[in-house]
Amino acid sequence: AGHRSILEKAFDCGDFVIVGVTSDAMVEAGFKGHRVEPYRARLKSVEAFLAERGFSDRSSIVRIDDVYGPAISDPEAEAIVVSPETAARALEINEKRRRTGLKPLELIEQEFIMAADGKPIASSRIRAGLIDREGRLRKGPSQAARGEADCV
């Protein structure tokens, strides 16, 4: 639900969206000891989500091989959707863009989607078996609470 909410926010706010999927090498470097689906499986999942929502024609999927992705160098990029957890990285991206003469990106923050226990839905919690992808506790039925955020 967390990544999906970020994607939905991006499509609510933008006409065309570049969607990044981290490479296997980047996942291995950043998530040592955690089980993460292979790139191909994650790519297919993103493609299915975009098709299901009717976003395929308004998007391009790119493989992300470093912590910045294309946001650091794409002169046509105008905005980046971030979570509270990734906002600091977006500030770094904007600083690097300024240094290379590119216009800083508008930062659009999507608040965390909370699980039934009031804590953010996070892939680490899903992998640990504490919650499912919708934020339901694994030990009891419950609905996830959703937060709303504006495009500015």
Rounded to an integer, what distance in angstroms lies between the CA atom of residue 143 and that of residue 152? 28
Consecutive sets of 10 residues in the chain, 152 residues long: mean pLDDT of each?
87 96 88 78 96 98 95 96 92 98 96 90 83 83 39 48
Give the domains, in start order, of the chain with CATH numbers.
2-127 (3.40.50.620)
pTM (global) more than 0.85: no
DSSP string of 54-94, one letter each residue: T-GGGEEEEEE-SSSGGGGT-TT--EEEE-TTTHHHHHHHH
Among 75, 149, 145, 71, CA closest to 113: 145
Alpha-carbon torsion 15, 84, 34, 73, what sign?
positive
Instruction: Please report the pLDDT score of residue 140 as a whole number.
Output: 46
Instruction: Please report the pLDDT score of residue 134 as a whole number.
Output: 87
Alpha-carbon 121 to chain mean position? 12
Q: For 24-64, how does the pLDDT look when each residue is reduced to its tens digit (9 = 90+)? A: 999 888 765 667 889 999 999 999 999 999 999 999 999 99
Share of the chain above pLDDT 70, in %: 88
